[in-house]
Structure 1
């Protein structure tokens, strides 16, 4: 791969650059980055990772891959500005809620569009990335995109109709998990732990649990059963969570987040 052109210089762009920079086979100075605002960010990214600040959108002309990390409401304008320089590049979009058909229409199908939904842990290269591909995207282009995205975490290819659900589940998931962990931490402090001690135990409990699930190949239900003795402490606590409707609340949260994802996509693709 000769050249990657990145639109945007925010947290998601930096996560992508950080991940790709781990690949010894790729020259980081072949990543060109452009940003409408805050030119100091380009200087910072160049200093930290060795990327090349782009002088204009025209530099997308020679890129193999264009990475779209702008906000959803900026996608239309960004793609229109890119249009004169498109000639078969792969476009990897990180814009939440924006459908492939919309991006293909704006780009007049001059590029191969791949839609993704990464989550916050991509910042530490432990993300979960949902990926859907347009009809024009060939297997080679999919492989190129996966190779890049896998530097940020795991990649799951799915049908585009599941992307709003993926936004709710893995995209918003860190927020939902953090809400539960916040409640756990506050309750631990209420039981007498210091905030620092509670945080330390909490983080390791989460990390360790995730590692057990992964390495032992268990489902959450199977691990829950293994650690729950009849009339034991875990059973007592789980009974309270079930009685308070925690499972139902989580299901409703995901449904609402999915609805909002679809709504935002429709809002940002509507011609103003």
Structure 2
């Protein structure tokens, strides 16, 4: 049975959308430059991606006003075995290019709540296909010390090159390949390497684990939206901190 983990959250990075921000809450230019600079400092020794990736995690979040529910799902050998949801309140609104400040704390908390260590993390966000080559997928992967990829629904930077012999369209930015594109129409996805994943690794991930990655992300998206709807309907949410809980799902 899936249950909602409910904890206090006055974390630094999470926000509702920009139009939910209160006056004076949006970062000013000095703050923006500061946070952008931090992204360029995120460097950790890489971890080798396992030859066989058995445990894949997808994480996403849903919002209602100032309330956020993030969800993480764990797939083992292609079957989802565990899920965890985390409920909180944002404090920093969404700013383009600084999505890691907005959603990072919440998806990280959901992944930590799984109680199992994945071998690969998948985020509905960008990794290297980012103005500073360090989107949410990169930063969150570094924080958790787990290889990660971004699988976004829209292109943030660069241009698309036609598929070559690999069959994958390429995202080209700054003179190099920063990701790949799969699918068409509403199923189109923009993949980019996050922490400790090379473009070559990413090609292998797409070739071998594409379905498992997309399944995890889709399930996390549905879970976060469903639990958010349930929680908002069940209880009016004031500005107070949420009480903590310890519920995960298996």
Measured against the shorter chain, the TM-score band is: under 0.3
Select the structure with the greater relative contact order (CA < 8 A; seq sep ≥ 6): 2
Q: What TM-score do the two structures reach when normalised by structure 2? A: 0.27
Task: Answer 1 or 2: which has greater strand percent.
Answer: 2
Q: What TM-score do the two structures reach when normalised by structure 1? A: 0.25
Q: Whose radius of gyration is greater, 1 or 2?
A: 1
